[in-house]
């Protein structure tokens, strides 16, 4: 069983303590690197889904999309992330992940 390391976030100044745009940019860049690592792991789950799903019709699942967005909005509220950021960002992530999963499904089944 593979256990990847936890995603590390580089040292940064707390947003409330930032004194300059350099501090702000350093924090944003550090978080972006961590988000890329998390999105790459999420993509690997899409690869697993493409491998596991029995047929191509199972790739797009509207009920699951609605469930994911609802869960994200609950988490966003708990973390004080604006739903105006969370919902469209996750809908785009989901859309691109479904496209990736279709491509992976087709590539591995042909």
With contact defined as beta carbons under 8 Å apart, do 15 and 27 qualify? yes
Q: Is 53 annotated as a binding residue?
A: yes
Report whether 90 contacts 69 (CB < 8 A).
yes
42 is known to lie in a ligand binding site: yes
Q: How far is CA 78 from CA 35, 52, 56, 65, 92, in A?
A: 19, 32, 35, 20, 21
> Is position 25 annotated in a ligand binding site?
yes
Q: Is 56 annotated as a binding residue?
A: no
Question: What is the C-alpha separation between 84 and 40, in angstroms, rounded?
Answer: 24
DSSP per-residue letters across 4-31:
PPPPP------GGG--SHHHHHHHHHHH
The binding site for substrate consists of 25, 42, 53, 101
The binding site consists of 25, 42, 53, 101
């Amino acid at each position: 069983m593979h256990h990847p390391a936890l995603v590390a976030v580089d040292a940064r100044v707390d947003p409330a303590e930032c004194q300059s745009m350099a501090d702000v940019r350093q924090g944003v860049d550090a978080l972006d690197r961590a988000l890329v690592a998390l999105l790459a792991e999420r993509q690997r789950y899409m690869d697993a889904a493409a491998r596991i799903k029995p047929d191509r019709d199972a790739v797009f699942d509207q009920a699951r999309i609605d469930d994911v967005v609802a869960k994200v909005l609950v988490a966003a509220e708990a973390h004080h992330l604006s739903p105006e950021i969370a919902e469209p960002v996750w809908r785009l992530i989901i859309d691109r992940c479904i496209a990736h999963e279709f491509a992976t499904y087709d590539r591995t089944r042909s």
